[in-house]
């Protein structure tokens, strides 16, 4: 069964460093998403991406965040200058064309900012 | 905010009992979905119910949706220890972005 994959599974970085989290969505999906979950808290929507542009973003997704689909298969989330409070699990998700379809989530990347 | 809010926050039951979790939301939705998350792991999709549906079943899961009350419930029948996890409802608006609730932490004691 096709699945969303994410790399790395864990990343430790120093405050102020840039990180890139990578996702490979399911191949025929058209809509892509990033979410984050701070330890012990709920899953928070960050951004949705369709047709090579951001379709919606939350108030969390400020100028330090950016997303890209560089090569037609990968979908990346870049955090330019990490802060301690960026430590969280980051989930990528994708879905197909129909609005009633399920979003399929990747296993997540656990980011720790020291 | 259109985020789902689940109650109870935590639920502890014995194996074999039924578990009911509720979710309320605030704005119009396209559909509502329930997810499961084992501790520190990813999200597993359980069931999707459309805004024009009132009830849906999948195995031991039963989901209801009342759009007039802006609420949904997830019933797990004949619970097993392996059902221990956090359960989240997520609402999807017409714009297709998804918002999660805070979740219910279910513990099923063997």
With contact defined as beta carbons under 8 Å apart, do A82 and A109 qualify? no
Measure CB to CB from residue B100 to each of A43, A48, A107 and give the nearest one.
Answer: A43
| pLDDT(B23) > 70 | yes
pLDDT at A73: 86
Full domain range(s) for residue B85: 5-109
Torsions phi, psi for A37 (to 5 deg) = -140, 105
- Please indicate, yes or no, if residue A107 is contained in any of the structural domains: no
Contact call for B96 and A48, based on CB within 8 A: yes
Q: What is the mean pLDDT of residues A29-37?
A: 94
**What's the pLDDT band for A100 if we cut at 50, 70, 90?**
low
pLDDT-wise least confident of A93-102, B22-31, B71-80: A93-102
Torsions phi, psi for A68 (to 5 deg) = -155, 150
pLDDT at B47: 94
| pLDDT(B6) > 80 | no
Q: What is the pLDDT of residues B44-93, one digit of tens each?
A: 999 999 999 999 999 999 999 999 999 999 999 999 999 999 999 999 88
| pLDDT(A28) > 80 | yes
- Please indicate, yes or no, if residue A102 is contained in any of the structural domains: no
With contact defined as beta carbons under 8 Å apart, do B78 and B70 qualify? no
Q: Is B47 on the interface with A (CB under 8 A)?
A: no
Distance of CA B36 to the CA centre of its chain: 8
| pLDDT(B2) > 50 | no
Quote the number of domains for chain B.
1
Distance of CA A52 to the CA centre of its chain: 15
Quote the number of domains for chain A.
1
- Please indicate, yes or no, if residue A70 is contained in any of the structural domains: yes
**What CA–CA distance (Å, rounded) separates B49 from B110?**
30
> Mean pLDDT in chain A?
92
Identify the closest residue of chain A to B103 by CA–CA distance.
A42
The CATH number assigned to the domain holding B94 equals 2.60.40.10
- Nearest C-alpha of chain A: how many angstroms from B28? 14
């Amino acid at each position: 069964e096709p699945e969303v994959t994410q790399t790395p599974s864990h990343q430790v970085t120093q405050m102020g460093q840039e990180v890139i989290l990578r996702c490979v969505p399911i191949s025929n999906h058209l809509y892509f998403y990033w979410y984050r979950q701070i330890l012990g808290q709920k899953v928070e929507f960050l951004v949705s991406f369709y047709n090579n542009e951001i379709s919606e973003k939350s108030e969390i997704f400020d100028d330090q965040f950016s997303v890209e689909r560089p090569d037609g298969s990968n979908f990346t989330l870049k955090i330019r200058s990490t802060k301690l409070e960026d430590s969280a699990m980051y989930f990528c998700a994708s879905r197909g064309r129909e609005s009633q379809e399920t979003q399929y989530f990747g296993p997540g990347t656990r980011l720790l900012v020291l | 905010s259109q985020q789902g809010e689940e109650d109870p926050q935590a639920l502890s039951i014995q194996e074999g009992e039924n578990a009911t979790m509720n979710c309320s939301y605030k704005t119009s939705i396209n559909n509502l979905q329930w997810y499961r998350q084992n501790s520190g792991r990813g999200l597993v999709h359980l069931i999707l119910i459309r805004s024009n549906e009132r009830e849906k079943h999948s195995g031991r899961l039963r989901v209801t949706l009342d759009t007039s009350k802006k609420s949904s419930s997830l019933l797990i029948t004949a619970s097993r220890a392996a059902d221990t996890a956090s359960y989240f409802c997520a609402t999807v608006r017409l714009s297709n972005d998804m918002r999660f609730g805070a979740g219910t932490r279910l513990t099923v004691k063997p």
